Amino acid sequence: MKGCIFNIDAGYLEGLCRGFKCGILKQSDYLNLVQCETLEDLKLHLQGTDYGTFLANEPSPLSVSTIDDKLREKLVIEFQHLRNHSVEPLSTFLDFITYSYMIDNIILLITGTLHQRPISELIPKCHPLGSFEQMEAIHVAATPAELYNAVLVDTPLAPFFVDCISEQDLDEMNIEIIRNTLYKAYLEAFYDFCKQIGGTTADVMCEILAFEADRRAIIITINSFGTELSKDDRAKLYPRCGKLNPDGLAALARADDYEQVKAVAEYYAEYSALFEGAGNNVGDKTLEDKFFEHEVSLNVHAFLQQFHFGVFYSYLKLKEQECRNIVWISECVAQKHRAKIDNYIPIF
Amino acid sequence: MGAMFRSEEMALCQLFIQPEAAYTSVSELGEAGSVQFRDLNPDVNAFQRKFVNEVRRCDEMERKLRYIEAEVHKDGVHIPAVKEAPRAPNPREIIDLEAHLEKTENEILELSHNAVNLKQNYLELTELRHVLEKTEAFFTAQEEIGMDSLTKSLISDETGQQAATRGRLGFVAGVVQRERVPAFERMLWRISRGNVFLRRAELDKPLEDPATGNEIYKTVFVAFFQGEQLKSRIKKVCTGFHASLYPCPPSNTERQDMVKGVRTRLEDLNMVLNQTRDHRQRVLASVAKELTSWTIMVRKMKAIYHTLNLFNMDVTKKCLIGECWVPTADLPNVQKALADGSNACGSSIPSFLNCIETDEEPPTFNRTNKFTRGFQNLIDAYGVASYRECNPALYTIITFPFLFAVMFGDLGHGCIMAMFGGWMVVKEVSLAAKKSNNEIWNIFFAGRYIILLMGCFSMYTGLVYNDIFSKSLNIFGSSWHIPYDNHTLAENGALTLDPKDAYTEVPYFIGIDPIWQSADNKIIFLNSYKMKLSIIFGVIHMIFGVCMSVVNYNFFKRRYSIFLEFLPQIVFLALLFLYMVFMMFFKWIAYSTKNDELAYTQGCAPSVLILFINMMLFSKNVPEEGCKEFMFDAQSDIQRVFVFIALLCIPVMLLGKPLYLLATKKNNPKPEHSNGSVNQGIELQEQTDLGDVQPKPEAKSSGGHDHEDEPFSEIMIHQAIHTIEYVLSTISHTASYLRLWALSLAHAELSEVLWNMVLTFGLKDHNYVGAIKLYVAFCFWALFTLAILVMMEGLSAFLHTLRLHWVEFMSKFYAGLGYIFQPFCFKTILEQEENKDD
C-alpha cells in the first residue's frame, strides 16, 4: 500500500537518485583509471564519465586535494539538491544521514583545538554536509557539559549528547568516548526512525544500519585492546541495534584479544566470512576493506527494491566509496606508487 | 534535381600526410567540410592517443578563455560579434596565442586580486564607519541613563552604585551577517549564562561582498560584558560567527574624531577604487574585441587535434594515415585542400589521397540546399536512406504540400499560411542572423519553405473546394438557375432543384459550383465527392510508390525481384483498387439525369462500395426495379477474373523470390563470397606495403547482398511477413487515405461553425451597437481562426500528411537503413559548441 502513494512525494527524487546512481563508475572505468600515468590523464578520463567537466576550470597542475575537494563538492551539491526538494518524512531521513557528518565534524574540531590548531585551519577540513551554524564557535567549550550547554543544545545532535555530559576536561580518550557514545545514540535513533517509517525502507535500512552497528562494535573492541578503556566502559559504547545484540555484544565485551573477537564472529555467518578473508599479510585485504566491501554490496542491494528511502542513503555511501577509490587511485598515480593501486573497492 | 534522386556516391579514401603538414591539411579539410574521418584507433584510450597533449593545451586555453569571458560578463562589457570566423591558427601562432592568453589571464587575475583587496579595505572601513555611527546612539542613550542615575543618586544610594559598576563594563563592537544574528545572540547568552548585554542595529543598505560582488546584509552590534575571561570567550564566539570586530573608543570625542578620519580615508579609497575600475574596464574592453575570434580559433584547433587523434602513425613515423569517406564529387576539392595544407607549411612532399575498395556500406549523403533541406529532414526523421537508395524527398516536395492541402483546403486559411511562410522566406537572412532559442520558432523557421508551399497549395485546393473562411466565391457565375417563379419562391421555405431543369449543362469553370453553398445536401454531396477523391489520390500515390521499387531493384541488380515481387504487387493493387477507381469514373460519366435509358439515370446508380464488396465476396445484390445490378454488361465476369488473378498473385509474392534464390544458390555456390575475398586480398597487399595499418573491422555486407548468406528458412519467414503485410496493407492503406476526406470535412465544418457562431453574432445588428458587437466578435473570430483553424488544424493536417508519406507511401519501396554522412566541418562544430554554451 505504501508503494502506491510513495511516488506522490518522493517519486521524482527517487528517480533522480537512481539516475545519479547510473553515473557511478563501472569496473571498466576503474580499469582505465588505473592505467593513467599522470593526474592529467585521470582528469581526461573522468571527463568522459558522468563527472564531465567538473575539473575543467582548475588550472594545471592538478593536486590530489583539488580532485578530492571537487569530488566532494559535486556529491554535496547533488545531495543538497535532493534535500531541498524533499518533504516529510524523507527530509528528516536525509537530515538523519547528515547527523553522522556533524558528529565527525564536532570531533574533528575538538581534537583540533585540543592540539592548539587555529579554528580557521580546521574548518575547511570539515565535511560540508555536516556543517551547522554554531560549529565554528565550538572552541569556547572546555568540558563536555559546556560543549552541550553552549554549542550543541540548539543542534539536532542534542538528544544524542545527553549520555556524555560530564565535567571532565576534554582529552583524547574522552573525545573518543564522546564520539562513540554519540554514534551509538545516533545509530540507535536512526534505526528506530527507520523502523517507525516501516515498509521497504525499514527492511532495507535496518539491514544496513545493523551492519553499521555491528561493525562499530567489532572495531571498538579491536581498537580497545591495549588501552585504558575498561571492559564495562567498552560495553557501554556498543550500539545495540545490530545483529550481535545481545549475545554477541556480551561476548565481545568479554573479549581480550583479536582471536576471541574472531571466535565471536564465528557464530554469525556473514561476519565470519569477512574475518576468514581478512589478513594483514601483503596481498590480503584488511578487515577494514572487507567491511567496506560488505557495506558496498549491502548498498548495491538497496537499489534492487523500489519505493523506499534506502536508495538515498545507499547512493551517498556508494558515492563516498567512489570518491575514496578515485582519491586512492590519484594518490597512487601522483606518488608513482603503483603496487597498491588495485586496492580500491569496485562498486559495479 | 537529378542529384537528389539518389544519395551521392561515396569513396573510402586513405590519406597519407606528412606529420608536419598534418595540422594544416586537416585545418583545410575542416574549412572545406566534405570529409568524414573514421576512427582508426578504436581500442586506444582517450589519454593514450597521440595528440593528447595538444588537446590538453587547448583545454587549458579554453579554461583561460572561459575565465576571461566570465570576467568580461561580470563587468557587463559588450562582446562584439566577429564578421568572419578566423581560420585555425598555424602551430607558430598557437604559441603566441597561448602566451597572449596567459598574459591576459594573469593581468586580469592581478587586477581582480587588487580590486578584491581594495574592496575588502573599503568594506572594512564602511563597516567601521557604520559601527561608529550606530553605536553612537547606544552610547548616548546609555549616557542619558547614566545622567539620570547620577541625578537619582542624590536620592538613592543604590542606583549610584549601579552607575559606578557600569563604568567598569567592557564592550566589543562589530558587524555580523544579519541571518546569523539570532544564533549569535543565543550563543552569547549561553556561554555567559545571560551576563552579556547585546545591543544591535541593522544596516539599511546592503554591503558588497568583495570576492563575489553579492549583496550582503549586516547588523551592527555592541556586546557589553564584565570581566576579561568573558571577553576572550566572546571574541571566540565572534570569530566563530565570522563577526568582524572593530575598535571603538569609549569616549564620545574620540569617536567623533575617528569617524572624521574614517570618512576621509573612505573618500580617498573611493577615488582609488574608481580609478582601478576604469582601468579594468579598459583592459576588459580591449580583450572583449578579440575574445570571440580567440574562442573560435581555439575551438578549431581542438577539433583538428581531436581529428588527428583518429589517425594512425606509420611504423616508420614518416607519415600519418587517416581513413575517410568522401563524396566522389568532392574529391578534387579534397585534393586541393590537401595541396593547400602542404603548401602552407612548406612541406616538400605532397600528401596522397588513395581511394580504396571496400565492402562496407558507405554513409548516405544528400546534398541539399535551403529549399530541399526541410523536405529531406522529413524523410530522414523516418530513417536515413540506405546508401544510393532512391530518395523519396524529391517527390515529397510536391506530394507533401499537395496532400496537406487536400486536408487543409481553404483559400483564406491557406493565404494566411502562405503569407507567414512567405514572410519567413523573404526575411530569411535577417531572421537567421537573430539566433533564437525558442524551439517552436526554430522548427517553424527550419520548415519555412514547406509552410510556404503548403500555404500556396491550400489556396489552390481552397479554390477547388470553393471555400474561403467557410464561404464560397461566385467568380464565374453559377451554372445553375432557378426554374421557379417568384410566387413559388415566396411561399416555400425550401425547394428542390432538379438538374434536368435547373442545370445549364456547362460546368462551373473551376471547382465546386457556388450554388452548393446554399444547398441543404451540401455536406452529403461534398462527402461523396471528397471521399472518392481521397481514394483516387491514395491509389495513385500507392501505385507510384510500388513503381518506385522497380528503380531500386534495377539499381541494386536484383532484376528477379521485378518479376517476383514488383509485378505481382502491382497487379494485385491494380486489379482490385485501380479497378475500384475506374468504377468511380465510370459512374461519374455513365450516369446522368438526362439519360433516356432508365438503367443509366441517377436513381439507378449503384454504390461503388457495395459493388466492390460483392466482387470480393462473390455475392449478389438484388437491384431495384428497372435498374441493373452492374454498370456494364460483362462486368460480373471481368470482376471474377480480376479477383482470381489477384489471388493468384499472392503465392507468387510469397514463394517466388525464396524459390528463385534457392535455385540460384544451388547452381553457383558462393559466387559473392569469393568476390569479397579478392577484394580483401587487394587491400591486404596495400596494407603490407604501407606497414602496420590496422586491419579494418570486419565489413558488414551491404543490404543488397545479405540474402545470399541467410538460410532458406529465414528468407522464407521474411518473405511471408512481407507478403502478409503487403496484402493486408493494400486494404488498410487505401482506407487510411480516407483521412484526406475526414480532415477536410472537419476543417470545413469547424470553420463554418466558427463563422455561424461567432462572426454572425456581430453581423446581425445594423445600428451603432452592431458596430461595437462586430468589433468584439471579429476579434474572437480572428483569434480562433488563427489559433484553431490555422495553427491547430494545420498541425494536425501536417501530422496526417507525414503519416501518409511515411507509412502509406514509403513502406512500398523505402528501406531507410543507412546512416548519415557527418563531415568534419568547422562550421557545424562551432555551431554545436555555441548551442552548448547557450
Write down the H helix ranges in B669-708.
671-690
Contact assignment for A137 to B52 by CB distance below 8 Å: no
B190 reaches A (C-beta below 8 A):
yes
Looking at the complex, report in whole angstroms how far the Cα of residue B80 sits from the nearest Cα belonging to chain A: 24
Tell me what pLDDT residue B144 has.
Answer: 60
Is residue B152 scored above 60 in pLDDT? no
Give pLDDT tens digits for B370-401: 899 999 999 999 999 998 888 999 999 999 99
Query: Higher confidence at residue B402 or residue A31?
Result: B402
Looking at the complex, report in whole angstroms how far the Cα of residue B190 sits from the nearest Cα belonging to chain A: 5
Tell me what pLDDT residue B669 has.
Answer: 58
Contact assignment for B237 to A137 by CB distance below 8 Å: yes
3-state secondary structure of B216: strand
| Residue B637, C-alpha cell as written in the block | 465476369
Tell me what pLDDT residue B145 has.
Answer: 57
Give the start-to-end residue ranges of the domains of chain A: 85-196
Tell me what pLDDT residue A311 has.
Answer: 92
- Reference A269, options A303, A242, A243, A237; nearest CA is A243
Compute chain A's Rg from CA coordinates.
21
Tell me what pLDDT residue B242 has.
Answer: 82
Domains and CATH numbers, chain B: 1-40+310-365+823-837 (3.30.70.240), 119-143+169-275 (3.30.70), 371-475+510-666+712-812 (no CATH)
Tell me what pLDDT residue B671 has.
Answer: 45
Tell me what pLDDT residue B156 has.
Answer: 45
Give pLDDT tens digits for B279-333: 888 888 888 888 888 888 888 888 998 888 888 887 777 788 888 999 988 888 8
- Reference B373, options B296, B446, B437; nearest CA is B446
Tell me what pLDDT residue B687 has.
Answer: 39
Q: What is the mean pLDDT of residues B19-28?
A: 85
B102 reaches A (C-beta below 8 A):
no
Asked if B401 contacts B450 with a C-beta cutoff of 8 angstroms, the reply is yes
Contact assignment for A57 to B66 by CB distance below 8 Å: yes
Tell me what pLDDT residue B708 has.
Answer: 54
Q: Which residues of A lie inside 8 Å of B (Cβ-Cβ)? A: 32, 35-37, 40-41, 44-45, 48, 56-60, 119-120, 133-140, 146, 149-151, 153-154
The two most distant CA atoms of chain A are separated, in Å, by: 56
Is residue B150 scored above 60 in pLDDT? no
Give pLDDT tens digits for B800-815: 999 999 999 999 999 8
* Average pLDDT for chain B: 84
Q: How many CB pairs under 8 A join A and B?
A: 67
The string of DSSP letters for A48-83 reads: TSTTTTTTTTSPSSP-HHHHHHHHHHHHHHHHHHHH
3-state secondary structure of B322: strand
Element holding B487 (H helix, E strand): helix B486-491
Q: Which residue matches cell numbers 483498387? A: B577
Contact assignment for B186 to A154 by CB distance below 8 Å: yes
Asked if A89 contacts A199 with a C-beta cutoff of 8 angstroms, the reply is no
What string of H, E and C letters represents the secondary structure of B45-110? Answer: CHHHCCCHHHHHHHHHHHHHHHHHHHHHHHCCCCCCCCCCCCCCCCHHHHHHHHHHHHHHHHHHHH
Tell me what pLDDT residue B682 has.
Answer: 39
- Reference A26, options A314, A327, A325, A290; nearest CA is A325
Tell me what pLDDT residue B143 has.
Answer: 62
- CB-CB neighbours of A164 under 10 Å: 20
Q: Where does the pLDDT of residue B668 fall: very low under 50, low under 70, confident under 90, or very high at 90 and above? A: low
Is residue B704 scored above 70 in pLDDT? no
Asked if A245 contacts A264 with a C-beta cutoff of 8 angstroms, the reply is no
Tell me what pLDDT residue A280 has.
Answer: 67
Contact assignment for A134 to B46 by CB distance below 8 Å: no
Looking at the complex, report in whole angstroms how far the Cα of residue B187 sits from the nearest Cα belonging to chain A: 6
Tell me the chain B residues in contact with residue A150 when contact means C-beta distances shorter than 8 Å.
Answer: 187, 190-191
Q: What is the mean pLDDT of residues B213-234?
A: 83
- Reference A43, options B555, B47, B340, B563; nearest CA is B47
Tell me what pLDDT residue B675 has.
Answer: 41
Contact assignment for A140 to B186 by CB distance below 8 Å: no
Tell me what pLDDT residue B245 has.
Answer: 84
B245 reaches A (C-beta below 8 A):
no
Tell me what pLDDT residue B436 has.
Answer: 79
Q: What is the mean pLDDT of residues B824-832?
A: 86
* pLDDT-flagged residues of chain A (< 50): none
- Reference B286, options B114, B116, B100, B115; nearest CA is B100
Give pLDDT tens digits for B585-624: 999 988 888 777 877 887 788 888 889 999 999 888 788 7
Tell me what pLDDT residue B1 has.
Answer: 45
Percent of chain B predicted with pLDDT > 90: 29
Percent of chain B predicted with pLDDT > 70: 91
Quote the CA–CA distance of B805 and B570 in Å, as a whole number. 19
Query: Higher confidence at residue B834 or residue B540?
Result: B540
* Average pLDDT for chain A: 86
Q: How far apart, in Å, are the Cα atoms of B753 and each of A169, B433, B760, B784?
A: 89, 41, 10, 11
Asked if B20 contacts B808 with a C-beta cutoff of 8 angstroms, the reply is no
What is the ipTM score, two decimals? 0.78
Q: Is B687 exposed, middle or buried (0-12, 13-18, 19+ CB in 10 A)?
A: middle
B194-208, B456-470, B666-680, B813-827: least confidently modelled range:
B666-680
Quote the CA–CA distance of B799 and A203 in Å, as a whole number. 50
- What is the chain A residue with the closest CA to B60? A59
